[in-house]
Structure 1
């Protein structure tokens, strides 16, 4: 999939122009977008495949029924996991005033998806304002961004640099089973401080944060076709059933059901 940010750079960097620009694309292998930002707000989602999105304070996982909203000038990076078919909507900065002011994941609706796909067919991309039915469709998309429920698919990072180092190590190797005391010693921080600040800075205690990191990584692994048993063992679970049980409690379905839907 051609990076839409590069493809539409001329439009995206203009403070004026159409209130909304939408693009759709496919990619047969991994797609990597290096850290960047632009003056337009961006909503992007997946029709098939899985995305992970990096922002300053965390990582966002985007399954096929969710989308990520990024306000204007938000630094971010992205990566797909396996074949990917998705879309992006870029919203002019003035129209973002009453949209979410922080990055978030949204549960997409059928109305949003159909409106976005209709907007993706507006070719060629023009710098002129939208009128008529196109203006109405753009208004529907903006209203959906404004009103759709926020979903907790992010993994917030702690602000303390010592805790960030620990968090990034856990993301790099979710199967690392060192306990809190060992991680505190490795990060040159007391176990009491590590425990307390993880809660105050991320909203999760250390154990829950690590489990969440493992669950989100499992979504990436499922998207690549990796067997459930191999995923469970690679993530440090003693048995596949232990992993399957936690996955069901976290996402409301088994890994096999999730993969079939993905």
Structure 2
């Protein structure tokens, strides 16, 4: 995966890169000197930072502030279109956020990634670049992430659930595995993440479901793969979380 260090960026507020990555590709933990707008025009990415795990389906993008450590993995083949932005343009420094990507913003991104490294700031390319930054600032957020705990023992549990969301082990089993009492596990989990383990796991399962649906899997197979006992139970939970059933998500 190409990084911002690979191209000269100092004199431009935003620069883009485009590349293609195969299924299973992993870009190990790293960071950038600039803020990053990470967007795949097709394919699904997973991004893990020290405090959150994100799923980025098409029509969504992840804003990563300058200096944020992160690992990127590709669930399937990914067509990457990523922007590197001057940190002074970051309206919320230090905060990662998933953004909706409108058709108009997508068109601007696809245009900017083709600009030469030293595009004319006072000409057409410069005007498009400034317009793109304005549009990014207008995009609403999207709920495609789960928080991650700082405690390394709790983090091991969360990482295991993300790797296999169908794992049905309960709090007693997980707390025993990491050497905690059930009471300590429950209290520490809620103190760190502001929610109980059951709700967190539900969110993690829904994030994995979004990834699988975007990759073209059927609703039935996704329901069982992420740990639901029936497609109807999965559909009901998906509708409550996202305001539409998975069939509507697939149609879009």
Fold agreement, TM-score > 0.5: yes
Show the counterpart of 1:9. Answer: 5
Q: TM-score, normalised by structure 1?
A: 0.85
1:83 to 68, 77, 88: 77
Residue 256 of structure 1: how far off its partner (Å): 3.3
Name the structure 2 match of 1:33: 27
- TM-score, normalised via structure 2 length: 0.88
- Confirm or deny: 8 A CA contact 1:50 1:82 kept in the other structure: yes
Q: 1:109 to 1:203 in 2, by over 3 A?
A: farther
Q: 5+ unaligned residues in a row in structure 1: which ranges?
A: none
- For structure 2, the residue ranges without an aligned partner over 5 or more in a row are none
| Distance (Å, rounded) in 1 between the aligned partners of 2:105 and 2:226 | 35
Encode CA deviations 1:169-201: one digit per residue, 9 max, x unaligned.
Answer: 212221121222222222212222222232232
Spell out structure 1 runs of 4+ moving beyond 4 A: none
Q: Report whether the alignment pairs 1:52 with 2:43.
A: no
Q: Do residues 63 (structure 1) and 54 (structure 2) align?
A: no
> Contact 1:99–1:145 (CA<8 Å) still a contact in 2?
no
The equivalent residue for 1:238 is 229
* In structure 2, distance between residues paired with 1:65 and 1:242: 26
**How many residues in Structure 1 have an aligned counterpart in Structure 2?**
252
Tell me the SS of whatever aligns to 2:235: helix
Deviations 1:75-113 (A, max 9, x none): 1111222232331111123444x3543111112233322
- In structure 2, how many angstroms separate the alpha carbons of the residues matched to 1:108 and 1:67? 7
CA distance in 1, matches of 2:92, 2:126: 17
Structure 2 counterpart SS, 1:116: helix
Q: Distance in 2 between matches of 1:254 and 1:196?
A: 33
- What is the Cα-based RMSD across aligned positions, in Å? 2.3
Indicate the larger mover: 67-76 or 160-169.
160-169
